Each structure stands twice: as structure tokens, then as C-alpha cells.
């Protein structure tokens, strides 16, 4: 996770609790029989680095876990949608993105996307998220 400065010093963290900036993530699939987060669940949140900094996100595989009936069949594919945003704890929206993709069978996948965010003081940052994810096939129905 990187907070890359675009202009005016970038999006800065605040000292006020309700103004703390964080990223939201919700990955869903219409094909899942069961998933974390469930369709009705709130997104996951992580704090973001200050302008010009980057942090490793070591639990990117926890962003989506799902069970797909017959998901182990050869050639099986399933949809994924990502809703992600840069917001404050108080709910102020600085920028967001909606993405859709399809994953074919199990395997090792790389992801990368960015969100252009603007804070109330005019600071603009590109928040860049990238990493690796593993989609695996199992008949075990425990998440």
C-alpha cells in the first residue's frame, strides 16, 4: 500500500481521530455459496500510510475468502468485484474505485490498482495497492 504524492503535499493523516484516513476493501463474488465478507457485511478497513510513505500489507489473502460449489472443476471460473475507497473514520470520502474481473480455476494471481484521492485541504495522492493472492481449490467448507 503506497501513498504517492500527486500535488499539494498529498493526502496527509490527521491528528483528529474522526479525520484519520483509512482504506476500505470489499471483494465479492456472485458465484460463492459462502464468503467472508458476506454480501451484507461491511467492508474491511486498514489505516493508510502518510503522504510519500508505503507499507506492506501482509494479509492480502484475508481480503476475500469464499467457497464456490463445484469450484474445483477444470475450467471453472468465477466473478470478482472490488469496491475500495479512501475515507476518514468519520465517513468523509476522498476517492474510490469499483473493479470487476473473472478468475479461472485455482492458482496464483497478482493484483494492482490505484485510487486518486483528494483531501479537504487540496492534497492529492494516488493510493496504490498491489500484491499477490492465491486462489485455491478445496472441498473443505470451513473458512
Cβ-based neighbours of 121, under 8 Å, separated by 6 or more: 8, 12
Write down the pTM of the prediction: 0.84
Number of domains in the chain: 1
pLDDT tens digits for range 91-122: 999 999 999 988 777 777 778 999 999 999 99
What is the pLDDT, as a whole number, of residue 141? 65
The reply to whether 141 falls in a domain is no
Residue 139 has a pLDDT of 67
Q: Of the candidates 82, 9, 85, which has an alpha carbon nearest to the alpha carbon of residue 48? A: 85
11 located within any domain? yes
pLDDT for 54: 95
Asked if the structure places residue 120 within a domain, the reply is: yes
The domain of 53 spans: 2-135
Question: Nearest Cα to 57, choosing from 105, 125, 18, 113?
Answer: 113
16 lies in some domain = yes
In a domain? residue 123:
yes
Is residue 59 assigned to a domain?
yes
Q: Are 26 and 38 in contact (CB under 8 A)?
A: no
pLDDT over 70 (residue 27) = yes
Q: Is residue 143 domain-resident?
A: no
Is 49 within the bounds of a domain? yes
pLDDT tens-digit readout, 30-65: 888 778 788 889 998 989 999 999 998 766 656 667
Amino acid at each position: 500500500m503506497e501513498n504517492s504524492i500527486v500535488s499539494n503535499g498529498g493526502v496527509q493523516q490527521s491528528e483528529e481521530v474522526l479525520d484519520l484516513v483509512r482504506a476500505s476493501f470489499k471483494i465479492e463474488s456472485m458465484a460463492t455459496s459462502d464468503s467472508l465478507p458476506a454480501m451484507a457485511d461491511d467492508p474491511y478497513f486498514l489505516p493508510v500510510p502518510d503522504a510519500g510513505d508505503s507499507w506492506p500489507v501482509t494479509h492480502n489473502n484475508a481480503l476475500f475468502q469464499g467457497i464456490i460449489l463445484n469450484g474445483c472443476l477444470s475450467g471453472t471460473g468465477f466473478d470478482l468485484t472490488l469496491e475500495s475507497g479512501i475515507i476518514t473514520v468519520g465517513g468523509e470520502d476522498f476517492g474510490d474505485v469499483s473493479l470487476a474481473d473473472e478468475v479461472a480455476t485455482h492458482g496464483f494471481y497478482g493484483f494492482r490498482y490505484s485510487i486518486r484521492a483528494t483531501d479537504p485541504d487540496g492534497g492529492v495522492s494516488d493510493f496504490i495497492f498491489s500484491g499477490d493472492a492465491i486462489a485455491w481449490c478445496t472441498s473443505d467448507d470451513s473458512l
